[in-house]
Amino acid sequence: MMKLIAAVALLGAFLAVSGDSSEAVRGIDPLKLHLYSPIEENGQKFWRCIGDPEIKLRYDQINDDYCDCPDGSDEPGTNACPYDPSRKFFCLNKGFFPGNLETFKVDDGVCDYDICCDGLDESNGLCPDKCNEIAAQFSQYSHEVEENSKRLLALKARLEDKASKKVDEIKKKLEILKHELAHRQKSVKGSKKTVVDAFSASIQDLAQGINEAKSAIGQHDITIKSLEGILNKMMENYNPNFNDLAVKEAINAFQDYISNKAEVVQVDLESKLEKVAHQAGTVGNSRDSYFSHYYNIVRDYFTPEEIINEEEDDQLAAIQQDIGIYEERLNRNYGPKDILRAVEGTWVSQSLNGYNYKVGLLTSIYQENTLIGKFERADGNTLHYRHGNKCWNGPQRSAVVELVCGPEHHVLSVQEPEKCAYVFEVMTPVVCHKFSQEDLLSGFEIDYSRL
């Protein structure tokens, strides 16, 4: 079995071109035949080298197995000129795809059916045309590959679905978190307003209490003054000759009371309250700033309030942190259609080269218990892992994982091309894609036993 290394042109375009042209030049694509148009002079045919038009040849010098042109253009259908990879022998391959063969393989006695299924690379009918048989094999192969590809793409579609559900979940979580954040922020503001309102009510209570106390004090003052007046009169008018012990004792106690009576400092409550009202006015006209001034003054006394606010702040910070984490996760590069999300956290284990490897897709990789690396980024079908355990006398371990299309998750190979830098090949449906005709042709191998 030989691998078909056909250079591909569209079959339709190829079929549109006639292979029976009387002007046919061996090894030349009919679409390029104009480059080999003869120049007629005195009934004779001539031709000029393509790259060196100053060199004029007889027309029958084309493909005469002798190299005349420095660029080899006079020998497109023989192996006479030195090998030049840019010059190829063209095979029409009627019924299949045209091919371009290296010129050194022309007339070498080998049928290069992988490129020239029509066998025209060899002269004298050495290689019969096998294009129909090869086209039939290719059609069977394409059918099998396409059937297999359908299965793989169905697996991939399921993973795409899983990835999109993960995105939806993250979006939903974000929505909930943002809603909760807004709600909590509002209720914190609300609770501060409630404290201000409560404080306002307390101030009003206090003012009322002060006024009531003030009038009670005024009443007591009157009572005391009238009692002092009664006792004063008794002290001045009593008759000491009446030797009444109870009166004597009361007079002595009253005299004692007067001598030790503390001087009452008159509190000017009116002017103090006026002062408070004036200060409040200078704080600002807004109701909030008026109360927040007093709120700030007494805040330190409301220790339990303070603790509750700190807890609330911590919870708000935690929600904001979660929002940041989910937003970062949402914006991370997970490849086309976010497909890599579907395999994030999938673990595949394999014993290779004497070690048991555990490969965590988009997480981390272990060689036995040695950390090979932590996932860093995805770049197309390549996953990069870094910051693994340090090597003895070497760098920190690292790895790249090449993802290749296949029906399941499986570690296919591991290599260590440089010390402690590993290259894994891991099979997964996430990188499968629809096969193009070029893919199909490059994967096709002729079964020579059936020719």
DSSP symbols for 340-404? GGGGTT-EEEEEETTEEEEEETTSEEEETTEEEEEEEEEETTEEEEEE-PBPTTS-B-EEEEEEE
> Which C-beta is closer to ligand MAN: that of 218 or that of 394?
394
The reply on whether position 418 binds ligand MAN by CB under 6 A is: no
CA distance 14 to 234: 144
> Which C-beta is closer to ligand MAN: that of 73 or that of 367?
367
Least Cβ distance, residue 391 to ligand MAN (angstroms): 5
Q: What three-state secondary structure class fits 285?
A: coil
Least Cβ distance, residue 131 to ligand MAN (angstroms): 51
Least Cβ distance, residue 374 to ligand MAN (angstroms): 16
Least Cβ distance, residue 408 to ligand MAN (angstroms): 26
The reply on whether position 103 binds ligand MAN by CB under 6 A is: no
Total of residues contacting ligand MAN (CB under 6 A): 8
156 in Cβ contact with 429 (< 8 Å): yes
Closest to 407 measured CA to CA, from 443, 435, 432, 433: 432
Q: What string marks each residue from 349 to 368 as x (binds ligand MAN by CB under 6 A) or -?
A: ------------------x-
| CA distances from residue 76 to 38, 46, 87, 109, 339 in whole angstroms, order as listed | 15, 17, 8, 18, 49
> Which C-beta is closer to ligand MAN: that of 219 or that of 353?
353
Structure tokens at 347: 């673990």
Q: Which of 420, 426, 430, 441 binds ligand MAN (CB under 6 A)?
A: 420
Residues contacting 172, CB < 8 A, separation 6+: none
Strand segments, DSSP code E, in 267-328 are: none
> Which C-beta is closer to ligand MAN: that of 308 or that of 391?
391
The reply on whether position 322 binds ligand MAN by CB under 6 A is: no
> Which C-beta is closer to ligand MAN: that of 242 or that of 392?
392
The reply on whether position 242 binds ligand MAN by CB under 6 A is: no
Least Cβ distance, residue 347 to ligand MAN (angstroms): 19
> Which C-beta is closer to ligand MAN: that of 314 or that of 368?
368
Residues contacting 390, CB < 8 A, separation 6+: 396, 397
Q: Which of 151, 193, 233, 419 binds ligand MAN (CB under 6 A)?
A: 419
How would you class 354 by CB atoms within 10 Å of its CB: exposed for 0-12, middle for 13-18, buried for 19 or more? exposed
Residues of this chain, 362-401, that bind ligand MAN according to CB under 6 A: 367, 370, 391-392, 394
The reply on whether position 275 binds ligand MAN by CB under 6 A is: no
Least Cβ distance, residue 367 to ligand MAN (angstroms): 5
Q: Which stretch binds ligand MAN (CB under 6 A): 140-148, 213-221, 339-347, 412-420?
A: 412-420
Encoded amino acid at 120, one letter = L
CA distance 315 to 171: 21
Closest to 292 measured CA to CA, from 278, 280, 306, 303: 280
> Which C-beta is closer to ligand MAN: that of 330 or that of 412?
412
Rounded to a whole number of angstroms, the distance between the first and last alpha carbons of the chain is 11
Least Cβ distance, residue 425 to ligand MAN (angstroms): 17
The reply on whether position 423 binds ligand MAN by CB under 6 A is: no
What's the angle, vertex CA 445, arms to CA 444 and CA 448, rounded to 5? 145
Q: Which of 52, 180, 322, 416 binds ligand MAN (CB under 6 A)?
A: 416
Q: Which residues contact ligand MAN by CB under 6 A? A: 367, 370, 391-392, 394, 416, 419-420
